[in-house]
Structure 1
Amino acid sequence: MAGFQVLPARTTEDARKVLKQIRPSAILLDVMLEREDTWNFLADVKRDPQTNDIPVLVCTVMNRESRARALGADEFWLKPVDEDKLIRKLQSLASGRGAKVLVVDDEPAARYLIKKFLETTPYQLLEAADGNTGVRLARSERPDVILLDFLLENMTAFDVIDQLKADPRTRPIPVIVVTSHALPMEERQRLAASTEAILSKEHLSRELAINRIRDALRHAGIRERPPGSERGGA
């Protein structure tokens, strides 16, 4: 639908399973599903700190807007909904969304450099100075992409990736490895199977970092505001 990846769920139970694995840009919810308490589902989504900032668009046949708004719905429409109107709303939500980027690196200078690269973009930057903290942040914050140093104190990127892939909450998050380490072919091939890209710190630039982040988001089905436009620029 207009470039959006649609994830269908026939029941609220199906929807909860999807939310454990993927963080959608928005939820389109019919509150009149047969034998389903969708009001509780809406309330739960808006109570949970891991999902409460996901826009919920309620679309149904009965005018229950007051209840929907009270439970946290961001939009309410009566069926049938005009397709152009729906697409415009989804595009506006996507364009206003700044993807979360988690940087996991034990070198403060490296984290600062990434921060400078991204400071004029809509991306929200999260930082972790070690692998274990990075995994905890990934689980709690659900970033849209992770920039991961290969060599960390007491562990490597393989250890972090193994933990991320073992958890259904973090398994879908794209990972970009950023390293100054000369990787043997065997390690590079192993990383290539579980990451979006491998970047050299020596040759890292703002343009390269942003382009690889955008590629990772695109592959994950996430539409976001083009980050190349500077604040106040043309």
Structure 2
Amino acid sequence: MARILIVEDNPMNMELATLLVEKAGHSVIQAKDAQSGLHKSRTELPDLILMDVQLPGMSGLEAAVLLKASPETKSIPIIALTALAMSGDEELCLAAGCDDYISKPLRYKVLWAAVEKHVIQPQSLNRITDMNNRPRKILIVDDEHLNRELLKVMLEYEGYLIKTVNSGEEALKSVEQDPPDLILLDIMMPGLNGNRVAGRLKHNPETMFIPIIMVTSIDDHSAKLTALKVGADDFLTKPVDRAEIILRVRNMLRLKDYNDLLSGYNNKLEVQVKERTVKLENAYKETIMTMVSAAEFKDEETGAHVRRIAHYSYLLGRLLGLSKKMNKALFYASPMHDIGKIGISDAILFKKTPFTPQERETMNTHSAIGAKILQKGDSPFIKMGAEIALNHHERWDGTGYPNGLSGEDIPLSARIMALCDVYDALRSKRSYKPAFSHEKSVKIIIEGDGRTMPEHFDPRVLAAFSAHPENFEKVYEKYKDDR
């Protein structure tokens, strides 16, 4: 319900306007001339003013100019009422500061639309983050009992919930226990003064956005600068004017609404981004596992091998002190290391006898094929998968393929994968060899056997493996082949 001031000298017009406003569900304040209208505007602070243009003495337009020039009343919407709908009247009304213009006789629908436009919609916007319509809580902090009670009476009349405390220490306790929507804080208090209280509140992430209006009896520029430096949002000078404090409180709460609304949007957006990131990651994981499953049909390796490789890589990454992000990418990217075997013919892939030089050359192309399959992926997992697929057969000493890279020219992910792949190959049965024990596999990697040599591996990766080989055995035992 809005409070509407009607300024009208004609009794019949006043009666009609009052009837229409009350029919729309709003309360009426009446003034019979411009001077009375100015006075009631300042003392009553209505939500809207319906101002007759033709008033005795001071005209309605002259009154509008004065109202818009006053800080106390400039934000109150004014609708001009006139019986003389002549060309140029609307321009005159707007030039005087009126927000709208209605011709007499008043009609209910026209008046209702104007109130909706200038009062209801703006009020709804101001309350947008306060959907439960709870009364706003204001904390008054002042060591003088009379000052506290005076401010309390003024603001309780406007519908605010008021709590008062008499010291800075009590104020901090109160804010911690029950955060208010706004604080009226006296500067000059014994003990913890207003500036120190404001400074603590503004440096606390939990309370830094609570508006603080400093109340002081000292109208001093340097005092205001000091308060601003500690985070004060506004000032009131004692003795406090009722109209001024109501307007300043309204403005501060409106700013808090906007800030809370923005914060709510940011939090909601952050949650949505996280949810979409998780969904996208899950989609990439499904894509990866689908590709890996397809590759299994073209390889003698099993799903257990893929799981072991993922855990070996993650384990080595942790031993090397890599970031959680890097380790996560390793876990999901490493199973794609042999995806390129999809492009190798069955005759070569499943051959039981040793490869001819030409067949070995063809077999070695699986790394480049895998990289080509994955190269257009935009997921960090798939990008790393392409990196691993291309380079996991490169060797630290430069004797690997496909490009003969050496040392740190080989991506770290591929250097990690190279050792993991060799360990699992040694532990697994092949057409040309039996499965080796953990102890024998570790000895071959660390000491070499002619085919596999320690210089094939990054020394840091090899050292990490050598320090905790038992962890790799645990992974192997946990994910043994099921065939």
Q: TM-score, normalised by structure 2?
A: 0.26
Partner residue in 2 for 1:16: none
Letter in 2 for 1:192: L
Partner residue in 2 for 1:98: 135
- Aligned 8 A contact 2:137 2:162 in 1: yes
Cα gap change, 1:169 to 1:207, in 2 (>3 Å): same
Alpha-carbon deviation of 1:187?
2.7
Counterpart pick for 1:126 among 159, 163, 168: 163
- Alpha-carbon distance in 2 for matches of 1:92, 1:190: 32
Cα gap change, 1:166 to 1:124, in 2 (>3 Å): same
Counterpart pick for 1:141 among 178, 186, 193: 178
* Deviations 1:123-177, CA, capped at 9 Å, x for gaps: 1101111001001111111100000001111232111012112222211100000
1:47-126 to structure 2, matched below 5 A, reads: 94=131, 96-126=133-163
Partner residue in 2 for 1:201: 238
Cα gap change, 1:162 to 1:91, in 2 (>3 Å): closer
Partner residue in 1 for 2:257: 221
Question: Which range moves more in the overlay, 161-170 or 137-146?
Answer: 161-170
- Alpha-carbon distance in 2 for matches of 1:92, 1:189: 32
- Aligned 8 A contact 1:142 1:169 in 2: no
Instruction: Determine if the alignment matches structure 1 residue 161 to structure 2 residue 193.
Output: no
- Alpha-carbon distance in 2 for matches of 1:180, 1:164: 22
Cα gap change, 1:125 to 1:179, in 2 (>3 Å): same
Secondary structure at the aligned position of 2:257 is classed as: coil
Letter in 2 for 1:161: A
Counterpart pick for 1:173 among 201, 210, 230: 210
Letter in 2 for 1:216: M
Alpha-carbon deviation of 1:114?
0.6
- Alpha-carbon distance in 1 for matches of 2:139, 2:226: 22
* Deviations 1:169-209, CA, capped at 9 Å, x for gaps: 211100000111243x333123234222111112x122111
Partner residue in 2 for 1:151: 188
Letter in 1 for 2:169: N
- Alpha-carbon distance in 2 for matches of 1:173, 1:93: 15
More helix as a share of residues: 2
Secondary structure at the aligned position of 2:218 is classed as: coil
Letter in 2 for 1:124: L
Partner residue in 1 for 2:54: none
- Alpha-carbon distance in 2 for matches of 1:177, 1:191: 8
Partner residue in 2 for 1:53: none
Cα gap change, 1:140 to 1:222, in 2 (>3 Å): farther
Runs of 4+ in 1 over 6 A off after TM superposition: none
- Aligned 8 A contact 1:104 1:131 in 2: yes
Alpha-carbon deviation of 1:222?
5.7
- Aligned 8 A contact 2:169 2:192 in 1: no
Partner residue in 2 for 1:211: 247
- Alpha-carbon distance in 1 for matches of 2:211, 2:179: 11
More strand as a share of residues: 1
Q: TM-score, normalised by structure 1?
A: 0.52
- Alpha-carbon distance in 2 for matches of 1:134, 1:167: 14
Alpha-carbon deviation of 1:103?
0.2
Cα gap change, 1:166 to 1:92, in 2 (>3 Å): closer
Cα gap change, 1:190 to 1:206, in 2 (>3 Å): same
Partner residue in 2 for 1:192: 228
Greater gyration radius: 2
Secondary structure at the aligned position of 1:208 is classed as: helix
Secondary structure at the aligned position of 2:213 is classed as: strand
- Aligned 8 A contact 1:176 1:195 in 2: yes
- Alpha-carbon distance in 2 for matches of 1:92, 1:130: 31
Letter in 2 for 1:160: V
- Alpha-carbon distance in 1 for matches of 2:223, 2:141: 19
Secondary structure at the aligned position of 1:152 is classed as: coil
Secondary structure at the aligned position of 2:175 is classed as: helix
Partner residue in 1 for 2:441: none
Cα gap change, 1:123 to 1:190, in 2 (>3 Å): same
The higher relative CO (CA closer than 8 Å, separation ≥ 6) is in: 1
